[in-house]
A and B are shown apart, each in its own frame.
Chain A
Amino acid sequence: MSALLNKKLLPFYATVAVFIAIFLIGGAMYNNFLSMRVLGNILADNSFIIIAAIGATFVILSGGIDLSVGSMIGFVGVCMAVLDSMGLDPLTTALLMMVFGFAFGAFQGWVIDALDIQPFIITLAGLFLLRGMCFMVTINSVPITHEWADLYSDIRIRLPGNGLLRSSAIVMLISLAAAIILAHFTRFGANVYAIGGDKESARLMGVNVRRTTVLVYAVGGLFAALAGVVYALYTKSGYPLAGTTLELSAIASVVLGGTLLTGGVGLVAGTLFGGMILGLISTLIIFNGSLNSAWILISSGVLLFAFMVMHRFLVGSFGLRD
């Protein structure tokens, strides 16, 4: 994969190194930390964030931003739960919700490009709209009881060293593989990097900016909806406040994964590690027991800050944008 060679990979390597370092530090501090079991749990617990972040990676690579992700997760969750209570099976509702996510994202993308409005504003409107719709659907926490939901959560793959790959982690890894192919081995993917790198040039080079933008947000919406499905099945319920501020965790994962917020530079695979780093930190602090959860946010904040400073340095001294 020629595109991945050279200095452009520096931020990605940095992310992987930070991940390994934190994992080792955890291992040095707590006996059982350094194990496949912990790794499997982190994967499962954070899979929905990572799935949403994978979608956000496309949006950010294209030079945009999507704030509607968290509300989408909440909305999909309540819809899944309410449709479940009406007797629909999870597979059908999941497909329905993903079609909805795709269409909703496509609409946002269309507005952004056709009316030339900042993505921040449009997707902020999307955030309010979808969250409001959550409360229209239900104001309660609704359980998901269909037997297929149990079947789904029983799927697991044994890993060496007593580890388990749970269903949500499996879905996440499959999405990741699909996203990597989409980003790096299709014309769509190349176009995303192109419009993120220089939109006007991309247009003159023959890239259909409208179609690409619409598709980028559609893909973002699709992954957000899938994240909502995974979250709902993982918690076996729908709750109208679910996923609040999750769009920010998704963006943080993307940035920690080495993608430039200005667009055009980054790797989908980086997002996996970015998300895992955030997951590791909370696991570490929970392992500690004596620290309260405020420390999760504080250390995530510090890490994000440190990472951005490092990024700035890498971009400056190696000319990553060139």
Chain B
Amino acid sequence: MAIMKANTAGATRIAMRGIRKAYPGVLALDDVDFELHGGEIHALLGENGAGKSTLIKVLTGALQRDRGEIMLDGEPVNFAKTGDAQDAGISTVYQEVNLIPAMTVTQNLTLEKTHGRFGFISWRKARAQAQQKLDRLGLKVELNRTVGSHSVAIQQMIAIARALDDDTKVLVLDEPTASLDADETAALFDVMRSLKAKGIAIVFITHFLEQVYEVSDRITVLRNGCKIGTSLIGDINRQDLIAMMIGRDLGEVEEAFAGERRDGSGEVVLTAEGVGRKRVLAPFDLTLRAGEVVGLSGLLGSGRTELVKLIFGALKHDSGTLKLANGTAGNNPRASLDAGIVLCPEDRKSEGLVGELSVRENIILSMQAKRGWLRKVSRAEQEKIADEMIRALAIATPDGEKLVRQLSGGNQQKVVLARALASSPRIMLLDEPTRGIDVGAHAEILTLIRTLCEDGLALLVASSEIDEVVASSDRVAVLRDRRKIGELTGEDITRDKIVTMIAGDNL
């Protein structure tokens, strides 16, 4: 404890006072104060839509505040654009990974960060600079490949590598660990701690409370755009912290996890026999039953996402057969949708949602597609379904007409789920369903998964969070190195067993 306090005794780096920011119809930040010291890791917490990302964007000039002042090292600052904040030593990784997919790793790492004369770029120097950035995080990534050809997790690490400069005074990380697995998270935390030791101030936004307790020195909680309070991490226990965030106790929701595992006697709805694809995933067998949740566990890059995509037909298999209860499954998304299979993808930005459409329109999308465009869902019906979903999933939006692009990150994730549910599927494939979702909603979604199951839905849930898999699955399929290495059922589903399998021989 004493050490922690010593760490936070650094000088005030950033002081934000009386910050107010309104979007049309929403007061995203209401008179918020925030203080950040040198050499501390300061966790910024709050439910989805609390205003965390907005506060960050106001700080870095990505958004202009309506009111309030920002001081950097005692001097008032006004960043007109993000580049200015970057130049002043504030490096930021925004919530939606922000890189240019079509450009190479080198180009992404050095964009607007090269210092050649007259604006010329020496690619030799840029490569060296990029390599240095990667080395800082111990990342092994080919410099010449495009960023878009890497997984979301690697992109996240590249974005962090990009943010770190020699002269970084303040590092802002908006949900950096949402798509990282345990090892990568640990690596990131090591980096954060060593930066902290150098006196760099770090803002860390996350929904994983264990991580908050693991690395942070202080916390600040926002709720509905208001600051609820700041505290040393040692002075607040988990329960009080959650109460601060959601304004009530979580107790009864967490109980829901403890449901019993079903024995898997339901009717078989999908069978995969020897389904695989060269260089993507070794042939695997898998059955899905009505009323059963199958968890999919494995490290990043072990083939979780690929397995889900193969079953959905978003990736074509080149071996084996996929059978539905009523015949062979189609080898393409269209046929899968018709057969009542839906997929909630991992990367909602590029694959999941249409940002320019409203929440209602997004929710109705799959359902309408399934019905065919000639039989239009009536407006009244659309509104009814949308309202139901918004209530059921507690999506923070004034009504169904808000554009999805304007929702907070976690609420966008909920819309992805809502859309899949609205099409009343028989088989639901969820890839990282709780990424970026706050504690309250996290529990609600897991509960929802269980309830759906009771209603006879078959679920396949891929997740990098082992605890989530343990909590929600009736059966767990474990993947390693692009190969399914086994299944666990009943009593065998424990964190330890899964970890041992994932780690394989080298443990």
Contact = CB atoms under 8 A, between A and B. Distances in A.
B392 interface: no
Interface string A1-43: 1110110100000000000000000000000000000000000
Interface in B75-93: 81-83, 86, 92
Contacts of A321: 101-102, 148
B98 A201 contact: yes
Interface in A166-222: 185-191, 193-194, 197-198, 200-208
A201 B99 contact: yes
Interface string B329-346: 000000000000000000
A185 B112 contact: no
B119 interface: yes
Nearest to A206: B83
Given A185-B121, A188-B119, A202-B100, A208 B81 contact: yes
Q: Which of B108, B111, B162 has the most CB of A within 10 A?
A: B111
Interface residues of B, number: 37
B111 A197 contact: no
Nearest to B143: A2
B100 A194 contact: yes
A270 to B, nearest CB: 15
A207 B107 contact: no
Given A2-B144, A194-B111, A207-B111, A201 B100 contact: yes
A206 B114 contact: no
A246 to B, nearest CB: 29
A5 B112 contact: no
Interface in B322-359: none
A264 B100 CA distance: 9
B114 to A, nearest CB: 6
Nearest to A205: B111
Nearest to B121: A185
B83 A185 contact: no
B101 A197 contact: yes
B397 interface: no
Given A6-B144, A187-B114, A191-B112, A205 B98 contact: yes
Contact of B123 (A185, A191, A193, A207): A185
Interface residues of A, number: 32
A319 interface: yes
Nearest to B122: A185
B142 to A, nearest CB: 10
Given A206-B82, A322-B102, A3 B107 contact: yes
Interface string B99-140: 111111011101111101001111100010000000000000
A202 B107 CA distance: 12
B8 to A, nearest CB: 29
A203 B100 contact: no
Contact of A187 (B86, B100, B112): B112
Contact of A207 (B62, B112, B162): B112
Contacts of B114: 187, 190
A3 B103 CA distance: 8
Contacts of A205: 82, 98-100, 108, 111-112, 162
Contacts of A185: 120-123
A203 B144 CA distance: 23
A203 B82 contact: yes
B151 to A, nearest CB: 11
B83 A187 contact: no
A98 interface: no
A197 B102 contact: yes
B82 A193 contact: no
Contacts of B104: 2-3
Contacts of B121: 185-187, 189-190
B111 A204 contact: no
A53 B113 CA distance: 30
B397 to A, nearest CB: 21
Contacts of A200: 98
Nearest to B150: A322
Contacts of B113: 206
Given A185-B120, A206-B81, A206-B112, A193 B143 contact: no
B334 to A, nearest CB: 16
A235 B383 CA distance: 65
B174 to A, nearest CB: 11
Given A185-B123, A186-B119, A204 B106 contact: no
Nearest to B124: A2
Interface in B280-336: none
B149 interface: yes
B145 interface: yes
Contacts of A197: 100-103
A87 to B, nearest CB: 37
With a 10 A CB-CB cut-off, give which of A8, A185, A187, A208 has the most chain B CB atoms.
A187
Contacts of B148: 319, 321-322
B62 A322 contact: no
A265 interface: yes
A315 B474 CA distance: 41
Contacts of A8: 146
A1 B81 CA distance: 30
Contacts of B144: 2, 5-6
A170 to B, nearest CB: 24
A314 B62 CA distance: 36
B146, B147, B162: most-surrounded residue (chain A CB, <10 A): B146
A2 B130 CA distance: 12
A208 B112 CA distance: 9
Given A206-B83, A319-B149, A322-B149, A193 B102 contact: yes
Given A2-B106, A6-B145, A187 B81 contact: no
B257 interface: no
A140 to B, nearest CB: 44
Given A2-B123, A2-B127, A319-B148, A190 B81 contact: no
Interface in B422-439: none
Contacts of A6: 144-146
Contacts of A191: 111-112
Contacts of A207: 83, 111-112
B208 interface: no
Interface string A244-271: 0000000000000000000011000000
B491 to A, nearest CB: 43
Interface in B38-95: 62, 81-83, 86, 92, 94
Nearest to A262: B102
Nearest to A2: B144
B255 to A, nearest CB: 41
Nearest to B405: A200
Contacts of A202: 100, 111
Interface string A311-322: 000000001111
Interface in A67-111: none
Contact of B101 (A2, A186, A206, A322): A322
A292 to B, nearest CB: 42
What 10 pairs across the A-B complex have the smallest Cβ distances?
A322-B148, A206-B83, A197-B100, A201-B98, A206-B112, A197-B102, A204-B98, A187-B119, A264-B102, A206-B86
Given A193-B100, A206-B86, 9 more contacts: A2-B106, A6-B145, A190-B111, A197-B101, A203-B81, A205-B99, A205-B100, A208-B81, A319-B148
13 contacts: A189-B121, A190-B114, A194-B107, A194-B111, A197-B103, A201-B100, A204-B82, A205-B112, A205-B162, A207-B83, A207-B111, A208-B81, A264-B103
